[in-house]
Structure 1
Amino acid sequence: MSQEFSPDPVKNRARHTLLTKLAANTTNPAAAELARELLAGNVTPRGVLSSTSYADLLAGSTSGFTEWYGNLSESEKDAQAEAGRNALSQLASDDKPAPSRRRRQDSVDDEDFSEVDWLDG
């Protein structure tokens, strides 16, 4: 079962696209495995963050991002935020509505991410 990450089809497609690219990454097998597990619905984003299984991977990535972002000027940060908004707008203009899938209601372990917005901070 493929994981649905957002009720917004544009954001959901952006997340799937990002995770699909990450899953094909041959230079970082741990990141690729994490992406495949997320795409398959075998692990949730919250489960990743609360588990120690991917702690080293996340710590390294978070540290690199924090350093990069911390070195940006305010105008560069604004430009990066604008680039992100533009990318989402582009996805929205290219978006073709996908068929809606109904979530199984019989599983207690299914976690609803419809209210979680990973892209907006």
Structure 2
Amino acid sequence: MSPEFSADPVRNRARHELLTKLAASTANPAAAEMARELLAGNVTPRGILSTNLYADVLAASTPGFAEWYGSLSEGEKDAQAEAGRNALTQLAAPEAKPAPPRRSDAVDDEEDFSEVDWLDG
């Protein structure tokens, strides 16, 4: 069972998705490791913030974000907040069920083995 990062299931799923993407990233191995540890439940977000374990990872990205956010006008900040709310709303929408798999028709000169029971002797 994976850890919960929010009591809100929409936010929890969004955080899991973001951490999963970060864990798969090769651009920043330390950040990927941190995400994998969070997903595995080996460390908590509070634990990361209250220790220096991943301080370098956090310190590297925080100034860039703060500078970017600080450069936004109030209208742009409102637009970013709205985009975040819209993303959460999309995540909350029931997921569409994928279409059932379809058998492709075999080419006329190829034998169709799809109905063969390979366990029969």
Greater relative contact order (Cα < 8 A, sep 6+) = 1
What TM-score do you get using the length of structure 2 for normalisation? 0.75
Moved over 4 A (4+): none
CA root-mean-square deviation: 1.4
What TM-score do you get using the length of structure 1 for normalisation? 0.75
Runs of 5+ consecutive residues of structure 1 not aligned to the other structure: 97-121
The count of aligned residue pairs is: 96
SS in structure 2 opposite 1:94?
coil
Counterpart for residue 47 of structure 1: 47
Counterpart for residue 106 of structure 1: none
Counterpart for residue 36 of structure 1: 36
Runs of 5+ consecutive residues of structure 2 not aligned to the other structure: 97-121
Deviation, 1:86, is: 0.3
Counterpart for residue 67 of structure 1: 67
Counterpart for residue 8 of structure 2: 8
Q: Which has the larger radius of gyration?
A: 2
Alpha carbons 1:10, 1:95 under 8 Å: kept = no
Identity of aligned residues (%): 77
Deviation, 1:95, is: 5.3
